[in-house]
């Protein structure tokens, strides 16, 4: 699915709608809905740069603007350069990734993630009760009704769990603001068009180059997905490009970069987030993607002259390929390294990211100036 912006989204029995006067919410079934609005809670990005949040079953920060956080704003952190020559390990503590203008939504998402689901307990209790009834003389006829009731209550509990664990983020974005985000999203799409992308999990130096095809460093990698998507508990009306796989999943929202590790999330502002590019020659012992350039050959077991070590049977040749690496870095010691099968000029990606970064900075400044103009 490509980039989109919707005026309405559904979250369980609720439906959120954007109009010219704001956001409204309705609940019900098709043909009969009870609504609220239009002065609801949502995210507005455009002239004025007001930031609002909306959620289900939790606190709502109605009327909140970025100016409310002015006392907590910290200077943008400098993103350290990525030294590709050192040992590579994906690191970062998401608990240290909380920007001033996104702290409330990060806290709320983490609260929702920590909630227990009730439906498994309801199901277990219902099955236990049914088993007890089945063991009672003369009560067997109640087992089927009890199982039927258990099914209904479990489904209701599952629906309730889905509702109370959902965070809704509605964006009302004007044309001037959406163009940079659309361009950046399209660059993520272009990145995802490579035949294969891996996350580099760990790296270990080795002196046993003879048994490792001449390599001086051993990497462990896992495939990642580059697509549109959000964590399951988040509902939003804007398509969100994401990089999922490895220790951290990264979601690029219009105003912040959300980083998820397990059941915990943090966030970075675009000022705190940076990307560096480079290339690396990799000895590939697996399938070689069709869009990869092969730059040489070596042997699984190699001698000092670079030829095959005759002491080993089944000593097969291995291709040397060139991959593009993408280093993501940010505050909270965040580091993530990707290998991309296709090497391309990524200057347009950097330009789109810089344009989006500048747009978000401008909206934050407008939000801070709005109370003074009022």
pLDDT along the chain (374 residues), means of 10: 73 70 60 46 42 46 34 36 49 67 76 87 91 81 88 89 82 81 95 94 67 64 93 89 94 92 90 92 88 87 75 82 92 89 96 92 68 50
- The runs of H, that is alpha helices, within 135-262 are 143-164, 175-192
pLDDT, tens only, 259-313? 999 889 988 989 989 999 999 888 888 889 999 999 888 877 777 777 777 787 7
Q: What is the pLDDT of residue 1?
A: 58
Q: What is the pLDDT of residue 21?
A: 60
Q: What is the pLDDT of residue 8?
A: 75
Judge whether 337 and 90 are in contact, CB under 8 Å. yes
Q: What is the pLDDT of residue 74?
A: 36
Alpha-carbon distances, residue 152 vs 119, 125, 292, 357 (angstroms)? 11, 13, 53, 49
The two beta strands, 241-244 and 225-228, are: antiparallel
Judge whether 224 and 243 are in contact, CB under 8 Å. yes
Q: What is the pLDDT of residue 201?
A: 87
End-to-end CA distance of the chain: 41
Q: What is the pLDDT of residue 283?
A: 85
How much is the pTM?
A: 0.77
In whole angstroms, give the CA distance from residue 357 to residue 339.
Answer: 24
Judge whether 24 and 36 are in contact, CB under 8 Å. yes
110 backbone dihedrals φ, ψ, rounded to 5°: -65, -35
Q: What is the pLDDT of residue 354?
A: 94
């Amino acid at each position: 699915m490509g980039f989109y912006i919707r005026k309405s989204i559904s979250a369980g029995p609720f439906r959120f709608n954007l109009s010219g006067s704001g956001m409204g919410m309705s609940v019900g079934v098709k043909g009969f809905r009870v609504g609220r609005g239009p002065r609801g809670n949502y995210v507005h990005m455009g002239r004025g740069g007001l930031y609002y949040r909306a959620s289900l079953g939790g606190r709502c920060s109605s009327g909140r603007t970025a100016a409310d956080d002015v006392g907590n704003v910290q200077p943008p952190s400098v993103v350290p350069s990525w030294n590709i020559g050192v040992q590579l390990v994906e690191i970062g503590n998401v608990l240290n990734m909380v920007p001033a203008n996104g702290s409330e939504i990060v806290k709320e998402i983490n609260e929702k993630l920590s909630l227990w689901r009730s439906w498994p307990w309801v199901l277990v209790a219902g099955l236990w009760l049914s088993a007890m009834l089945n063991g009672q003389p003369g009560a067997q006829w109640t087992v089927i009704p009890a199982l039927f009731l258990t099914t209904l209550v479990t489904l209701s509990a599952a629906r309730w769990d889905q509702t109370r664990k959902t965070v809704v983020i509605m964006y009302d974005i004007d044309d001037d603001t959406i163009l940079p985000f659309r361009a950046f999203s399209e660059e993520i799409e272009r990145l995802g068009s490579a035949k294969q992308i891996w996350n580099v999990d760990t790296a270990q130096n080795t002196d046993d180059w003879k048994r490792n095809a001449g390599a001086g460093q051993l990497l462990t990698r896992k495939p990642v997905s580059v697509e549109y998507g959000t964590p399951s508990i988040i509902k939003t009306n804007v398509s969100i490009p994401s990089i999922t796989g490895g220790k951290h999943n990264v979601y690029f929202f219009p105003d912040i970069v959300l980083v998820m590790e397990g059941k915990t999330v943090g966030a970075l502002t675009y000022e705190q987030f940076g990307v560096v590019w480079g290339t690396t020659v990799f000895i590939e012992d697996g399938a070689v993607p069709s869009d990869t350039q092969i730059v040489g050959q070596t042997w699984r077991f190699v001698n000092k002259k670079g030829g095959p070590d005759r002491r080993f049977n089944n000593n097969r040749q291995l291709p040397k390929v060139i991959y593009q690496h993408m280093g993501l870095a940010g505050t909270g010691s965040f580091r993530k390294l990707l290998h991309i099968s296709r090497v391309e000029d990524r200057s347009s990606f950097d330009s789109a990211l810089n344009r989006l970064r500048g747009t978000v900075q401008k909206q934050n400044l407008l939000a801070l100036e709005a109370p003074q103009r009022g």
